[in-house]
Each structure stands twice: as structure tokens, then as C-alpha cells.
Amino acid sequence: MSTEDDLRELALSLPGTHEQEAWAMPTWRVGGKIFAALNPKHGPGVKIGQGERTELVAADPEKFYWTPHDENANFMRVHLGAIDRDELLEVLTDAWRFTAGPKLAQRLADSSSTVVAGRSQTKPRQT
């Protein structure tokens, strides 16, 4: 089981992420683009390809769903009470990568951080 606090903590643990309020809700962004949000009306959501969304929702509707609001968007909703922290981190990391794109994700990973067990850690310098 995860909470809204877990969502916030895990999202902010990803490299280059910042929180920004938009539409009266917290959103988490990388490269200025939203990869997760805590929508009070539709539920917590993460960015995902529509094909992947269809597969995940069909495979595990107790954890994942989408609303008509998401129909034309690359977004899926998450039942926080049905997902543990490790799986939530995995879903957020996938959303982060999807949003950052390969160039930004690689640049951020190379510059200073890697994601390990839900925490952002500084990589040691090579000498």
C-alpha cells in the first residue's frame, strides 16, 4: 500500500525532478514536462504510452485505471492503496523516462544521479 506522501517522495527522488502546482494540484516534472500528478478529481496519474496503458489496466485493474479524461492523453491512474512502494517507484521511473526521453534521461543520469531504491544518489567521480 502506498500513500500520497509516498508518491511525492518517490517522484522527487528521480533525477532532475521538481514539483510544480498546476490546475490546483501538485505535478512532478522533468525537463519542464509533467510525468506524474495528484489530481483530486481523477486520482493520482502517471505518464505512459497508450498501448502500455491498455495492457497494464487489462492485466491489473485493481492497481491501474484510466478515465475518459485520459482517453486521448498518455496518462494512466494508479490506485495507491493497491500498489506497494517498490512497484510505485517502478511506474514513476517508467513515466519519468517516457517523459524525459532518451537524451535527457541519459544526460541527467551521466551528470549526477542514478535512481537506487527510491533515492537519488550522487555517482562517484571517475579518476
Structural domain boundaries of the chain? 4-102
Which numeric CATH code is attached to 4-102? Answer: 3.90.1150.30
Per-residue model confidence (pLDDT) at position 42? 87
Per-residue model confidence (pLDDT) at position 45? 95
What residues contact residue 71 under an 8 Å CB cut-off, 6+ apart?
A: none
Per-residue model confidence (pLDDT) at position 115? 46
- Model pTM? 0.81
Per-residue model confidence (pLDDT) at position 59? 95
pLDDT < 70 positions in the chain: 108-109, 111-127
Distance, CA of 117 to CA of 51 (rounded, Å): 27
Per-residue model confidence (pLDDT) at position 119? 41
Per-residue model confidence (pLDDT) at position 107? 75
Per-residue model confidence (pLDDT) at position 81? 95
Quote the distance between the C-alpha of residue 10 and its chain's center.
8
- Give the residue among 122, 57, 121, 118 at the shortest CA–CA distance from 46: 57
Per-residue model confidence (pLDDT) at position 50? 87
What residues contact residue 117 under an 8 Å CB cut-off, 6+ apart?
A: none
Q: Residue 78 half-sphere exposure, CB side, CA atoms within 13 Å?
A: 27
